[in-house]
Amino acid sequence: MKDLQIWNGPSTSASHVEPELTRRSFLRTGAAAIGGMAALAAALAPLRELASDEMPNLDQFLQKHYKEMSPAEMEQALERIRNKVEERYAVRPHLRDVKPMEGVEFAYALNLSRCIGCRKCVHACVAENNQSRSPEIQYIRVLEMPRGTLDVEKGNHHYDQPTVPNADHFYLPVQCHQCASPPCVKVCPVEATWQESDGVTVIDYDWCIGCRYCEAACPYWARRFNFAKPNLPKDQLNPNMSYLSNRPREKGVMEKCHFCLHRTREGRMPACVEICPTGARKFGNVLDPKSEVAEILRTKRVFVLKEEVGTLPRFFYYFDERYPNTLDPEALAIAARLREEEGDSYGCLPGAAGPRRDFIAAAKPAWWIGENA
């Protein structure tokens, strides 16, 4: 015990003799060191659970940023990913790097008078883009909003009544708006996310370090993070993939809506636009004056969410002239009242057999006081 100096009070002479190294002290020190090593090894023990394809890989370590890869290096990376997907899902994917089309800038428009909140867009997107099912990742969120407000805090994300649409509500789906002044691109410390020439804000999944600053910065809550290893059942894999869009991601990286660029850069529609049963979603090239979205931007009263944040989104919302009769309680009330009042002759066009009806008076609500009252 001599080498463990216990406090003996201040001494006036420094001892100049090295304390003896006794066998006991050597054994004790050695035992402590070995015990420490054993404890460290035990602490590191969970690492043996790492799957083989998650172990650090030299190719992946040396892989360059998307913008710096030569075509040969990109092909090498694609081949590595194809092999990995084939190994994990037993399907050889059609994986390529799709470049933006020239003279194209995408825009998206959503008709809030037509959205009925069926959430088919949410699940079509999930079926198309190889997201993790458990934990669940969905790029699109549909909010059930009460009439008269755009304050998303009043929206309900978790509506689950037997049928939609719910009267007195409208439905507001939100996904990445591919903003022209994106805060997520501003804050990324490694430039893993950027906006391409056709307007899509993309992520290089092999470059992202997973700091989640972009997720904190997005005003529309559009970005998702893989907190766990993505769980995608083999039979739900979509083999039509591209490097920047829907190839299967790994844990620890960000992902988000990318306007299905593996489809749209080849002329097809995004999955959400194609599935929408009411045609509420419109997509196209805003630089083409004859495209649907250009028509909408010219003729409809479009607006964007949270305009005051200054993100310049390319996702526009609009309402048609008024709520369609499916959602308009007033129109439904008028029709019900007329059916009651007119019985058999209800619905006769002017000139047909049956009592005449004053169409204009019938169209006015009961409280209307005007010249024809």
Partner 1 sequence: MNQPTTFQPATTPTRAPGWLGWLLPIGFVCLAAVLFNSSTASDIPLAPSRTFDKSTLIVGPRRVAMQDPPTVQIEGRPQSCNGCHQIFTSSHPGGAALNFHQDLVLHHGLNNRCVNCHDTADRQKLTLRDGATVTFAETPQLCAQCHGTVYRDWQRGTHGKTLGSWVTESQAQRRLSCNECHDPHSPKYPSYVPLPGPNTLRMGDQSAPVHPEHSGKQNPLQRGFNKPASDRNNKVTPDGVHP
Partner 2 sequence: MRTYLTFLLRCFRLSFVGDYRYYAWMFFLTVLVLFGINAYCKQLVYGLATTGMTDQVSWGFYIANFTFLVGMAAAAVMLVIPVYIYRNRELHDLVIFGELFAVAAIIMAMLFVTVDLGRPDRFHHLLLRFNFPVSMLTWDVLVLNGYLLLNLHICGYLVYCAYRKREPSKYVYVPFVFVAIVWAISIHTVTAFLYSGLGGRPFWNSAVVAPRFLASAFAAGPAFLILTLSALKHFTTYEVPAKAFMTLRNTVAIALSISMFLLGSEAFTEFYTNSSHVASATYLFLGLHGRTALVPWIWSAIALNSLAMVLLYLPLSRKLPVLQAACVMLIVGIWIEKGMGMIVPAFIPTPLGEIVEYLPTRNEILVTVGIWAAGLLIYTILVRITVPVLSGRLTYDQPFVAARDPALFAPHPSSEGVVR
Max intra-chain CA distance, the chain: 128
Residue 220 interacts, among partner 2, partner 1, none and using kind-specific CB cut-offs from 5 to 8 Å, with: partner 2
C-alpha dihedral sign at 121, 125, 128, 131: negative
Q: Which helix (H) or strand (E) holds 106?
A: strand 106-111
DSSP state of 47: G
Check binding of 192 to partner 2 (CB under 8 A): yes
Between CA 333 and CA 119, with CA 329 as vertex, the angle to 5 degrees is 140
Closest CB to partner 1 among 63 and 285? 285
Q: Which of 306, 322, 339, 356 binds partner 2 (CB under 8 A)?
A: 306
- For the CA atoms of 159, 164, 170, 174, the dihedral, rounded to the nearest 10 degrees, stands at 60
User: Which residues from 128-157 bind partner 2, rule CB under 8 A?
Assistant: 135, 137, 141, 143, 151-155, 157
User: Which residues from 249-268 bind partner 2, rule CB under 8 A?
Assistant: 251-253
| Burial of 205: CB neighbours in 10 Å, binned 0-12, 13-18, 19+ | buried
Check binding of 54 to partner 1 (CB under 8 A): no
Check binding of 303 to partner 2 (CB under 8 A): no
The DSSP line for 74-96 is HHHHHHHHHHHHHHHHS---EEE
Stretch that binds partner 2, among 49-57, 77-85, 86-94, 326-334 (CB under 8 A): 49-57
User: Which residues from 196-215 bind partner 2, rule CB under 8 A?
Assistant: 207-213, 215
Check binding of 52 to partner 2 (CB under 8 A): no
Closest CB to partner 1 among 213 and 346? 346
Count other C-beta atoms under 10 Å from residue 133's C-beta.
Answer: 14
Closest CB to partner 1 among 194 and 319? 319
Phi, psi of 273 (to 5 degrees): -70, -40
Closest CB to partner 1 among 80 and 229? 229
Residue 69 interacts, among partner 1, partner 2, none and using kind-specific CB cut-offs from 5 to 8 Å, with: none
Check binding of 163 to partner 1 (CB under 8 A): yes
Q: Which of 135, 180, 181, 221 binds partner 1 (CB under 8 A)?
A: 135
Residue 322 interacts, among partner 1, partner 2, none and using kind-specific CB cut-offs from 5 to 8 Å, with: none
Count other C-beta atoms under 10 Å from residue 228's C-beta.
Answer: 11
Residue 99's contacts (CB-CB under 8 Å, 6 or more residues apart) are 265
Check binding of 229 to partner 2 (CB under 8 A): yes
Q: Which of 309, 334, 335, 338 binds partner 2 (CB under 8 A)?
A: 309
